[in-house]
Amino acid sequence: MKRVLVIDDAATVRMYHRNILEGAGYAVEEAVNGMEALEKALQEPADLYVVDVNMPPWDGYVFLQRLRESDIPQGPAIMVSTESDSKDEARAYVAGANAYLIKPVKPAQLLTTTKLLLGESVS
Amino acid sequence: MSPLLAQFQAEASEVLEGIALKLMQLEKQPGDPSLMNELFRLVHTLKGNSGLFDFPEMTKVLHAAEDLMDSVRTGATSQSQNFTDQILDAMDFVGELCREIEAHGAYAPNHTAKSAQLAQALRALISTDDEADSNATPANSEADSLANPIPAELAHVPRAVLDAARLQVAEGAPCFWLTYKPDEACFFQGDDPLFRVRQTPGHLWGKIVPTAPWPDLSALDPFHCALAFHSIALAPLEELAEHFQYMPDQVEFLALSEAWLAHPEGQSITPQPGLELYSTSQVQTEGLSLENSQYLAQLFHSQRQILNLAGDADTQRKRFQAVADVLSKCCQSLGDTRAQSRVVEACDEALSSGSAAPLLAWLNDANAIVVPKAGEAPTPGVVESSPSETSPLKAQDRSEEPSIVTATTASGPAKSLKVDQAKIDRLMNLIGELVVSKNAIPYLAQRAENQFGVRELSREIKTQYSVINRIAEEMQDAIMQIRMLPVSFIFQRFPRLVRDISRKLGKEVSLVLVGEDTEADKNIIESLADPLIHIIRNSLDHGLETPEVRKAQGKAASGTLTISATQEADRVLIEITDDGKGINPEVIKRKAYEKGLVDEEALARLTDLDAIQLIFAAGFSTAETVSDLSGRGVGMDVVRSAVERVNGTIQLESEVGKGTRLRISLPLSMAVTQVMIVESDSQIFGIPMDHVVETVRIPRAAIRTIKHSPTTILRGRVVPLKSLNGLLQIAAAPKANEQDELAVLVVRLGTGVVGLIVDDFCETVDVIQKPLLGILSGLNVYSGSALMGDGSVLMVLNLKEVI
């Protein structure tokens, strides 16, 4: 079972993402900020990361940078943000995101993007 | 109330309290940036959460509050007394809505006016400079877009597309800008405008735009085409004209020059909202839904942007590799190996040349079909008037799900403390060690008496021991309680899982969940998740029939899947029952025989009940075809071993035509195991008490040989005997006592019993079993090791493997 790490400071958003991903058979783990996420990732790298932007003490950008600098196996990362501004989007890519979705994310979009990034069949 | 809504509720009240607190602090320390940021973040979180549900009034107010906070935070607006009042008013309103949601699962529909008024009041505080900005643009873009000699839209075509077109034009290829406005009644004339555009010769890029602002959803006529298409096509005019020969008055062509493509910013206006099309067919996307192909295109769009980022050579190379990995995975998802190998080629080229061009070229060729540009909703007007369209999940949807019966009762969030699980685990380990080390005290008492001859002290030690023992047991009990989780922790995922799977299979299923508040240890609950998901998949895929078949057999069209949890003594029983077609023992027997799992002789003796248990055997799978859902190469044997790993048992009952029932029995907790210590060849071994039926001493004369194996008769029941020495390949013969009696430990195994001949029985102890690590982990005859009070190590036997 593929492991997805959902990183968001809002418990409701984490549960929302968890419900979507677990419904499709992924094993979901959670982290409430970038620091906790990095600790978890370093211990056991996930197959995919769903990353929020704004969450102290480390935001999603810092997490992605550190993750990409680390030498663990690199899973793809989806950055999830409320900002549709292209500057924010570019910043996500610079930090190391592979995809950028706008909140609230439609369940189908999160799932399809996840499957595409993991190379799993989409119907 | 759905768990997600309950979670929202709990978090919302926490956040609202936080906002009130921060506002008060901010009054005392006006302009404190860290307070400001924290306040902004709290409002932002709440807004984000409310966006997951269909609460437009709440989201609207929160959105306005967030904008105001942002403006104050960045210093564009000053923080006034009025600011605090307005935010507090807004939060009171949100709190009120939350209370209504808590009581009724949704709030009354009469808040729209209040919400609009509050939002307006909040926005009124934002400095007016901002407002002028945001209101300035969109209105006049429409009219300009078609009239101007340089198509205004050209400025908003992605750079990569323009570059690709320019290269072609530089080499002399014809390049045209198409504006196609299908007739309003085109759908009735058998036209498919989207299809026609996508089939345009040399189609490179396209965009769909509405011809007029969208009307209110209730006034929208879906049979009326209100769209126009812009495209860039690399083909000669004649070919294009021929393609659109039946609608010459609806299409305009404009040749694009190299200069225009290089500098499309003839005039800068806000891009018209719409959907973009990319074309030609490098990637096989047939069979992909329109929705999914949009998501795919959006992902491709992201990759383009990543490739267009600036950076040093090393960073760029990493990016090329990352993009290539993503593209390759996408091809894999779509099952297009040819496109995948071309990605690899493009990546190699990009890496060796240090330029993103080969990958960009791949992307330009790729058939990503429809892209909504990030952040562009169809028209702002539509978003405002029908927020439910954009809200991914309506609260009502979940609570009204008619086919799902849950037994949870709505209640306010209990007062609780969130603790990191690692801390609990640490506490549990410490208590475990305490339990083990307290076991050393009786040894001490014995030594005091036997070795030093102080009986008085020995007695005092024993009294003290009983006190410590009692406290340790209570502590153990308390920590177990903390680790207890309701099974709803995993059950709550099932409604969605069942819904998704049954839709995929075209079956109608109603899921009934019973006893969700039954509790068990966290580890047990967690170990249960995967097997249960697998069982549910199996039930839906192989057990339940399609509605047509069910009706033909006189059953209700909709099947029922019941998952129940109950506590029985110190075990949790989970039952998964379906009313599907059941399991045919004859089919199982035949399959098992074909696969060589049983021989002919055994086959004849098998009862129907035993026969169906064969589905748990390794290497057994009845499905004729391996389906996407349940046939993932894991059979029921994996389920069984997952259950047995936590000392659970699994049983199957089935009646052909009526349905199937799986019973999983699990211990409440797995932390402390009671084991009996037995001795064999002067070594001690532990045997879990769960398995022990009784201890008996049998005279050697009472042992008979039936069918070449030693057997005895115990209270009229035949009990096969096995020597532990023999099973563990210890050479020594079992020792008998003075009366020539052998110690026999009768153990339960599955449904039968076996007598285990050992040298002697010792006491039973509570131990904390630790799994074997490292090189020892391959020894599956032991389920683990435990530390004894005197410091020695006890190996605990895994009877299933031993016998």
- In CATH terms, the superfamily for domain B672-802 is CheA-289, Domain 4 (2.40.50.180)
Q: Could you read off the pLDDT of B349-369 as tens digits, one per residue?
A: 999 888 888 888 888 777 533
Degrees, nearest 5: CA angle B203-B204-B206: 85
Residue B789: pLDDT band with limits 50, 70, 90: low
Q: Which residues of A are less than 8 Å from B271 in CB distance?
A: none
User: Beta strand A3-7 with A48-52: parallel, antiparallel or unpaired?
Assistant: parallel
Q: Please give the residue of chain A at the shortest CA–CA distance from B394.
A: A106
CB contact under 8 A, B41 and A56: yes
Looking from the CA of B125 toward its CB, the CA atoms found within 13 Å total 26
| pLDDT at residue A51, rounded to an integer | 95
Domain range list for chain B: 3-136, 143-372, 421-483, 488-583+622-667, 672-802
- In CATH terms, the superfamily for domain B488-583+622-667 is Histidine kinase-like ATPase, C-terminal domain (3.30.565.10)
CB contact under 8 A, B52 and A13: yes
Helix spans in B137-220 (H) = 141-147, 159-170, 193-198
- Over chain B, what is the mean pLDDT? 78
What is the ipTM metric for this complex? Answer: 0.94
Q: Could you read off the pLDDT of B649-695 as tens digits, one per residue?
A: 888 888 888 888 999 988 877 666 788 999 888 888 999 887 888 88
In a domain, A36, yes or no: yes
Distance from CA of B329 to the nearest CA of A (A): 4
A116 at B interface, C-beta within 8 A:
yes
Higher confidence at residue B10 or residue B157? B10
Residue A95: pLDDT band with limits 50, 70, 90: very high
Count of CB atoms within 10 A of residue B553's CB?
10
Q: Could you read off the pLDDT of B421-456 as tens digits, one per residue?
A: 788 888 888 887 787 788 788 888 888 888 888 888
User: Of the ranges B35-39, B41-45, B266-270, which one carries the lowest mean pLDDT score?
Assistant: B266-270
Residue A80 has φ and ψ, to the nearest 5°, of -115, 125
CB contact under 8 A, B329 and A118: yes
Distance from CA of A76 to the nearest CA of B (A): 8
Q: Round to whole Å and give the CA distance between B402 and B568.
A: 30
Structural domains of chain A, count: 1
Residue-wise over B736-758: b if at least 16 C-beta within 10 A, else e? beeeeebbbbbbeeeeebbbbbb
Residue-wise over B442-473: b if at least 16 C-beta within 10 A, else e? bebbeebbeeeeeeeebeebbeebeeebeebe
Q: Could you read off the pLDDT of B497-555 as tens digits, one per residue?
A: 888 788 888 888 888 888 888 888 887 888 888 888 888 888 888 888 888 888 888 88
Residue B150 has pLDDT above 70, yes or no: no
Looking from the CA of B448 toward its CB, the CA atoms found within 13 Å total 15
In a domain, A17, yes or no: yes
User: Beta strand A3-7 with A27-31: parallel, antiparallel or unpaired?
Assistant: parallel
Residue A14 has pLDDT above 90, yes or no: yes
Q: Round to whole Å and give the CA distance between B591 and B778.
A: 31
Residue B256: pLDDT band with limits 50, 70, 90: confident
| Residue that the structure tokens 């099932």 belong to | B494
| pLDDT at residue A80, rounded to an integer | 93
Q: Could you read off the pLDDT of B582-618 as tens digits, one per residue?
A: 888 888 888 788 877 777 777 778 888 888 888 877 6
CA A1 to centroid of chain Cα atoms: 17
Measured CA to CA in angstroms, residue B35 lies from B11, B40, B72 at distances of 20, 8, 12
Q: Could you read off the pLDDT of B362-421 as tens digits, one per residue?
A: 887 775 333 333 333 333 333 333 333 334 444 344 443 333 434 344 444 456 777 787
Residue A116: pLDDT band with limits 50, 70, 90: very high
In a domain, A108, yes or no: yes
Q: Which residues of A are less than 8 Å from B332 in CB distance?
A: 119
Distance from CA of B287 to the nearest CA of A (A): 7
| pLDDT at residue B283, rounded to an integer | 52
In a domain, A123, yes or no: no
In a domain, A13, yes or no: yes
CA B766 to centroid of chain Cα atoms: 37
Chain B residues 749-768 within an 8 A CB cutoff of chain A: none
Identify residue B143 by its one-letter amino acid code. Answer: A
Q: Which tokens in the block code for residue A86?
A: 């292209």
Q: Round to whole Å and give the CA distance between B96 and B598.
A: 67
B8 at A interface, C-beta within 8 A:
yes
CB contact under 8 A, B4 and A118: no
Q: Which residues of B are less than 8 Å from A118 in CB distance?
A: 329, 333
Nearest-CB residue to B374 (from A54, A76, A89): A89
Q: Which residues of A are less than 8 Å from B325 in CB distance?
A: 76
Chain B residues 353-382 within an 8 A CB cutoff of chain A: 374-376
3-state secondary structure of B146: helix
**What region, left, alpha or beta, does residue A30 occupy, with left being phi > 0 and alpha being psi -120 to 50 degrees?**
beta
Mean pLDDT across B765-779? 76
Beta-carbon contacts below 8 Å between A and B: 139
Residue B139 has φ and ψ, to the nearest 5°, of -55, -45
Q: Which residues of B are less than 8 Å from A24 in CB distance?
A: 500
- A27 lies in which domain range? 3-118
Measured CA to CA in angstroms, residue B563 lies from B403, B405, B503, B524, B663 at distances of 14, 11, 19, 17, 10
Q: Could you read off the pLDDT of B615-652 as tens digits, one per residue?
A: 877 667 655 444 444 444 456 777 888 887 777 888 88
Q: Could you read off the pLDDT of B740-755 as tens digits, one per residue?
A: 888 899 988 777 888 9
Higher confidence at residue B252 or residue B269? B252
Domain CATH code at residue A54: 3.40.50.2300
CB contact under 8 A, B44 and A82: yes
| pLDDT at residue B144, rounded to an integer | 37
CB contact under 8 A, B299 and A23: no
Integer Rg of chain A from CA: 13
Nearest-CB residue to B4 (from A12, A119, A120): A12
Chain A residues 46-85 within an 8 A CB cutoff of chain B: 54, 56, 68, 74, 76, 82, 84-85
Query: Which residues does B214 contact at the CB level (< 8 Å), separation at least 6?
Result: B220, B226, B378, B379, B381, B382
Identify residue B29 by its one-letter amino acid code. Answer: Q
Q: Would you say B282 and B300 are in contact if contact means Cβ atoms under 8 Å apart?
A: no
Distance from CA of A113 to the nearest CA of B (A): 7
Q: Would you say A59 and A66 are in contact if contact means Cβ atoms under 8 Å apart?
A: no
Chain A residues 4-43 within an 8 A CB cutoff of chain B: 9-13, 15-16, 19, 22-25
In a domain, A50, yes or no: yes
Q: How far apart are the first and last CA of chain B?
A: 50
**Short-list A53, A45, A37, CA closest to A74:** A45
Residue B135: pLDDT band with limits 50, 70, 90: very low
Q: Would you say B438 and B38 are in contact if contact means Cβ atoms under 8 Å apart?
A: no
Distance from CA of A102 to the nearest CA of B (A): 7
| pLDDT at residue B278, rounded to an integer | 53
Q: Could you read off the pLDDT of B287-313 as tens digits, one per residue?
A: 677 778 778 888 888 898 899 888 888
**Short-list B788, B782, B798, CA closest to B768:** B788
Nearest-CB residue to A122 (from B44, B292, B533): B292
A112 at B interface, C-beta within 8 A:
yes
Q: Please give the residue of chain B at the shortest CA–CA distance from A24.
A: B497
Residue B141 has pLDDT above 60, yes or no: no
Degrees, nearest 5: CA angle B431-B435-B438: 130
B309 at A interface, C-beta within 8 A:
yes
Higher confidence at residue B77 or residue B393? B77
| pLDDT at residue A31, rounded to an integer | 93
Of chain B, the percentage scoring pLDDT greater than 90 comes to 4
Q: Which tokens in the block code for residue B544?
A: 């339940």
Q: Dihedral of the CA atoms B415, B417, B421, B426 (nearest 10)?
A: -120
| pLDDT at residue B285, rounded to an integer | 55
| pLDDT at residue B380, rounded to an integer | 34
In a domain, A41, yes or no: yes
Higher confidence at residue B179 or residue B493? B179
Q: Could you read off the pLDDT of A27-76 as tens digits, one per residue?
A: 999 999 999 999 999 999 999 999 999 887 888 999 999 999 998 888 99
Which of 1.10.1760.20, 1.10.10.10, 3.90.650.10, 1.20.120.160 would CATH assign to domain B3-136?
1.20.120.160
Query: Which residues does B534 contact at the CB level (< 8 Å), separation at least 6?
Result: B630, B634, B636, B638, B639
